[in-house]
Amino acid sequence: MSLRTWAAAAVTVLAGISSLAAGAPVAAAPAPAPAESAPVYSYANAIRESVWVRTTLDGDGDGVPDTVAVDLIRPRTPQGVKVPVIMDASPYYQCCGRGNESETKKYAADGTVTKFPLFYDNYFVPRGYAYAAVDMAGTSRSTGCGDEGGKSDVLGVKAVVDWLGGRATATHQDGSAATAASWASGKTGMIGKSWDATLANGVASTGVSGLTTIVPISGISSWYDYQRSNGVVYYPGWTSGLAAEVSGRPAGVCDAAEAALDAGADDAGGSYNAFWAERDYLRGAANVKASVLLYHGINDTNVETKHFAAWWSALAAHNVPRKIWLSQGGHVDPFDLRRSEWVSTLHHWFDYWLLGIQNGIMAEPMASIERAPGQWVNESTWPAAAAAPLALPLGRGDGQTGTIGSPVAAGSAIRTLTDSPDPAREESATVAAPNTAQPWRQVFLGPRLTKPVRVSGTPTVTLRFQSDHPSTELSARLVDYGPATRLDYLHGEGIKTGTSETCWGSSTPADDACYKVTTEALVTSDLGVLTRGWMDAAHRNSDAATDPLQPGQWYTATVPLRANESVIPAGHVLGLVVTLSDLTYNTPSTTGATVTVDLAQSHLTLPTTAAAGAFTGTGLPPHLPVTPPAPHQKTTGPQQRFTHFR
């Protein structure tokens, strides 16, 4: 009996028993069984084992092939029944933990795994799935060294998919051969948040056989874009620092590998090079054979939204079967934002792609989007089908504040910005009091909106400028000015953790399926920063090469902001705040540059469903009495960013 037939039969039997218990006539036909797998297997009696998969890598340079540790739990199925595997590969199983409650793996004295983090094993093993928690190379019980998203990280996990498909070898702890041929169906689905999601993206980009689906939650699509922004280096030295944070190897074993990471990253130049190309999964999008259920928080300031948008676009270009969830949250798992709906979606997704149950999930809308806190809508695609780029000119305004949507004559409006280390330039102060002129920023305001305006896609800011330095950072923020209750993503990523619990699957004394209830954290504020963007002006033409600025010469640079999905309510004002260096989101590196901007040849391009008439006003900016927002909890210094990266 195939697993699909076994599961369907079990669901039908359970439905029949339920009808009889309720007093239904014996002769009556049972109610139609739901098209989903049922929890018919014992979780407590499941098979728990660990294997070490042999790779072709030697990341630690000891002359011995690296091995990747895999902790497994699988149901005791009838003879001949084979099961698919749900896999979460991670560097965090011992150093840092997984999920909102930072769970780690636990083992018995004999090395048998007794506890898996998260609910995936508790929920899916009784429903006929195996679950594999894989230690990334160089972490926990695996050998080798971490590689910041490079070949060691990706190919180490790929080897596990190959082993499940009979194309690689593995051993048990006692050295005996381990095979999956007797129980594994050959279909694998990868899931995980943050670095775990990044591994799923990377392995999918190899085109490995057997990887049938991936569920990347807040994952990276290009490591250059995680460590850089158009030539701006976020944190010098952090390439090796991140690998060192998750290393599970003895001191000194990975020193050479970590030194090679810093050398390849080229912090001094900040350019995209062969090192970063190896870690750019977008280049392998054409290889992807797996379907993709993608989740990202629109206000994720850690793994920024450019990652999901670029990956989503690349998948679309190659007709990869896919769906997307977008929340208003920060770097947070949808399990902690919309728990019941997310578990149900995962259940049906894996049933369809790994068990072949025809439950209609691919006929459902492609996109599920949180418009405002707690307000979710389904749509046929993302970005919005009706969204189109709208070029909005930047105007002179009243001399203190410029305008959006009101053009000026050529040469009639010149604005100047000066880069300085003034601590008042933290973001909370930078976007406050927009009608007050400051030498280190330029604010542009649109008219008060008479109708809601939807932004759906990637905005850009094009600036025609001169600089008195060979380079300078160009920074921009799109701001929604107007009172509203918003998700407080700048403090705790937008969630609050309670004391009560809900349970998702079966439990044992060592591994329960219960997790603390979380709710969205809300704040009432006068403004909300919608999206941000940064560029090193010397990289204005290419991430891969610099072109230093010459004093007195005019240049044009287009700064991409982070992808966004939001609705600006009627009565609010859209604002654009332009600065040079950014003291909040990047390592302070003020140059002291003075930059002159020609407004007549500068503009904001907004991906929107609105027409240009939505931004037609009097030509003068409205006066906005704005209470400065509270300084946000910084998550973007090296250590803070790592903590929240999990």
Cα 37 to Cα 564: distance, rounded to the nearest angstrom? 36
Enter the DSSP assignment of 222: B
Give phi and psi for 318, each to the nearest 5: -110, 20
Active site residue 50: no
Could you tell me where the DSSP H helices lie in 220-331?
223-227, 238-246, 255-265, 274-278, 305-317
Take residue 128 and report the two structure tokens written for it.
């006929």
- Give me the sign of the Cα torsion angle 379, 382, 388, 394: positive
Count of CB atoms situated within 10 Å of the CB of 202:
29
- Give me the catalytic one of 142, 152, 185, 194: 194
- Give me the catalytic one of 331, 348, 539, 572: 331
Take residue 457 and report the two structure tokens written for it.
């896609």
C-alpha closest to that of 36 among 487, 310, 360: 360
Active site residue 331: yes
| Residues 243 and 145 sit within 8 Å (Cβ to Cβ) | yes
Cα 359 to Cα 141: distance, rounded to the nearest angstrom? 39
The long-range contacts involving 164-171, CB below 8 angstroms and separated by at least 24 positions, are 164/85, 164/132, 164/188, 164/210, 165/209, 165/210, 167/209, 168/53, 168/54, 168/55, 169/53, 169/54, 170/51, 170/52, 170/53, 170/54, 170/70, 171/51, 171/52, 171/54, 171/67
Kindly list the distances between the CA atom of residue 488 and the CA atoms of 235, 335, 449, 495, 632, in Å, as whole numbers in the listed order: 25, 18, 24, 8, 9
Enter the DSSP assignment of 320: -
Please state whether beta strands 594-598 and 460-467 pair in parallel, antiparallel, or not at all (unpaired): antiparallel
The C-alpha R_g of the chain, in whole angstroms, comes to 26
Cα 197 to Cα 350: distance, rounded to the nearest angstrom? 16
C-alpha closest to that of 230 among 536, 470, 461: 536
Cα 484 to Cα 77: distance, rounded to the nearest angstrom? 54
Please state whether beta strands 514-520 and 495-503 pair in parallel, antiparallel, or not at all (unpaired): antiparallel
| Residues 405 and 395 sit within 8 Å (Cβ to Cβ) | yes
473 forms beta bridges with: 536
3-state secondary structure (DSSP) of residue 418:
strand
- Give me the catalytic one of 135, 300, 336, 511: 300
Cα 285 to Cα 314: distance, rounded to the nearest angstrom? 6
Burial 248-271 (b: 16+ CB within 10 A, else e): bbeeebbeebbebbbebbebeebb
Please state whether beta strands 291-297 and 170-171 pair in parallel, antiparallel, or not at all (unpaired): unpaired
10 forms beta bridges with: none
Please give the positions annotated as active site. Answer: 194, 300, 331
